[in-house]
Amino acid sequence: MAYENVVVNHEEQYSIITINRPKQMNALNKQTIEELHDALTKLNADENVRAVIITGSGEKAFVAGADIKEFANFNISEGTELAARGHELLFDFVENFNKPVIAAVNGFALGGGLELAMACHIRVASYNAKLGLPETGLGLIPGYGGTQRLARLIGHGRAIEMITTAQMIDAERAHEMGLVNHLYTADELMTEAVNLVKKMLKNSPNALKSAIRSVNAGYRTGIDGYKVEIEEFGKCFGTKDFVEGTTAFLEKRKPSF
């Protein structure tokens, strides 16, 4: 599949996905969501890719929201399908990805853009980043998981305030609230995102996958996160990574995963 709105660059053991609609501030339209799904599906299946960084093209925006003109005339059933399809193709897909996904937020992350960043496992941002969920000003609510993931990350009261006021916050405030993990200058952002990935690459890919599944399980209604952790912990004992990791420790050397 040839992509019009997404660029994928493969590096050693990791890949960088750049959403490339600079004239539209990298807004998420139907085609871009489908292209992201296709790219991520291929990266998930590629054993040579152990982590993914998602960012936006240019210096102004990570993703400045959804493409409103695509759904301005939707009815109830069409709006419901829009949200459900987006969850399936992209937002839930990213959250449940078997490899670490880092959002490098290089500017505006609004609406669907912030929802995409929150679906990623870790968020790093540049100091010029602006984050918000402005949907209530359009007569909507966040529909791609924003009401759920924002509350998990920053707490119930802060999430309701951000959503109901539709106000943007700056990068420093986002960092204070735990919405982003680290802040860097615009020039440092991608280098530091890669450095974070390289720290992950030193560890077992099977263990990283189990860790992501276990942490996610704790935020799912009706799922016992502790039980999932026990199961995933047990599975680790059946992997070659466990053999290599424990052998390397006993031999006082660094493991080779």
Tens digit of each residue's pLDDT (9 = 90 or more) over 100-142:
999 999 999 999 999 999 999 999 999 999 999 999 999 999 9
| Positions marked catalytic | 115, 135
- Report pLDDT digits (tens) over 172-225: 999 999 999 999 999 999 999 999 999 999 999 999 999 999 999 999 889 999
Spatial distance between the Cα atoms of 62 and 155, rounded to a whole number of angstroms: 23
| CB contact at 8 A, 123 and 72 | no
**Smallest Cα–Cα separation from 103: which of 3, 209, 9, 193?**
193
Tell me: domain 6-201, CATH 3.90.226.10, correct? yes
**Predicted structure pTM score:** 0.95
Domain locations in the chain as residue ranges:
6-201, 205-250
Do 6-201 and 205-250 agree at the fold level?
A: no
**CATH for 205-250?**
1.10.12
